[in-house]
């Protein structure tokens, strides 16, 4: 596995595909209907409904483009469970100077959520853990300085 590649889980891919279908179908029609209604109100230069509908349309089209780009450039993985840290691996690690271990799951950038322990493979900590094994010590440069972790378990 390439540690710098864009990865998503099968679940995230299905979620993005469902969102894309919703945006391209009902949501796009809803915004086009709002534009038509706003145009029927007359003078477009001072028509707040028209300007809002145009702004909503731009946001919708940007999100559609973003999702299509993610789907086209990402590899679906269902990793984890091995001895080496990769996408999908659940890591139990002890930070130097602390008594309680933390659990991290290495995921692709689109699924990262630090508060839930889901770290991106492209984050400093994710890059430090990637390719390592149980028992190894890793050092990562974070915005708060260098941190040292010992990998207790990889699942």
Q: Is residue 138 part of a domain?
A: yes
> Structural domain of residue 66, as residue ranges?
7-76
Give me the CATH number covering residue 43: 1.10.287.180
Residue 89 lies in a domain: yes
Query: What confidence tens digit (pLDDT) does each residue in 1-49 have?
Result: 555 568 888 888 999 999 999 999 999 999 999 999 988 888 888 888 9
The answer to whether 120 touches 101, Cβ cutoff 8 Å, is: no
Looking at residue 106, which CATH number applies to its domain? 3.10.50.30
| DSSP-derived 3-state class of residue 52 | helix
Q: Does residue 86 sit in the same domain as residue 105?
A: yes
pLDDT greater than 70 at residue 81 = no
Domain assignment present for 1: no
Q: Total structural domains in the chain?
A: 2
Q: Looking at per-residue confidence, does 5 or 141 come out higher?
A: 141
For residues 50-74, average pLDDT: 95
pLDDT of 110 reads 86
Residue pair 41/49 in contact (Cβ under 8 Å)? The answer is yes
- Among 60, 76, 92, give the residue marking a domain's end: 76
- 65, 71 Cβ separation under 8 angstroms: no
| 58 shares its domain with 117 | no
Give the mean pLDDT of 74-97. Answer: 86
Take residue 114 and report the two structure tokens written for it. 């630090």
99-111: pLDDT as tens digits: 999 999 999 888 9
- Asked if 16 and 76 touch (Cβ cutoff 8 Å), the reply is no
Question: Which of 99 and 80 is assigned the larger pLDDT?
Answer: 99
Same domain, 99 and 136: yes
More confident site: 112 or 6: 112
The Cα–Cα gap between 136 and 133 comes to 6
The answer to whether residue 2 is domain-embedded is no
Q: Is residue 16 part of a domain?
A: yes
User: Is the predicted pLDDT of residue 122 greater than 80, yes or no?
Assistant: yes
Greater model confidence, 146 or 142: 146
Task: Judge if 71 and 84 occupy the same domain.
Answer: no
Q: What is the average pLDDT across 46-66?
A: 94
Q: Answer with the one of 24, 53, 76 that is the final residue of a domain.
A: 76
Q: Are strands 75-77 and 7-9 parallel, antiparallel or unpaired?
A: parallel
């Amino acid at each position: 596995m390439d540690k710098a590649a864009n990865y998503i889980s099968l679940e995230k891919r299905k979620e993005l595909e469902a969102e894309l279908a919703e945006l391209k179908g009902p949501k796009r029609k809803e915004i086009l209907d709002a534009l038509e209604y706003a145009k029927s109100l007359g003078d477009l230069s001072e028509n707040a409904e028209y300007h809002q509908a145009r702004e909503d349309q731009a946001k919708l089209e940007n999100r559609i483009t973003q999702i299509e780009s993610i789907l086209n450039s990402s590899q679906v993985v269902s990793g984890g469970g091995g001895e080496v840290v990769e996408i999908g691996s659940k890591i139990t690690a002890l930070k130097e100077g602390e008594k309680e271990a933390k659990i991290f799951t290495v995921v692709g950038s689109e699924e990262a959520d630090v508060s839930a322990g889901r770290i991106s493979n492209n984050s400093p900590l994710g890059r430090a853990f990637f390719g390592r094994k149980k028992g190894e010590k890793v050092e990562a440069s974070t915005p708060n300085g260098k941190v040292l972790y010992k990998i207790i378990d990889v699942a």
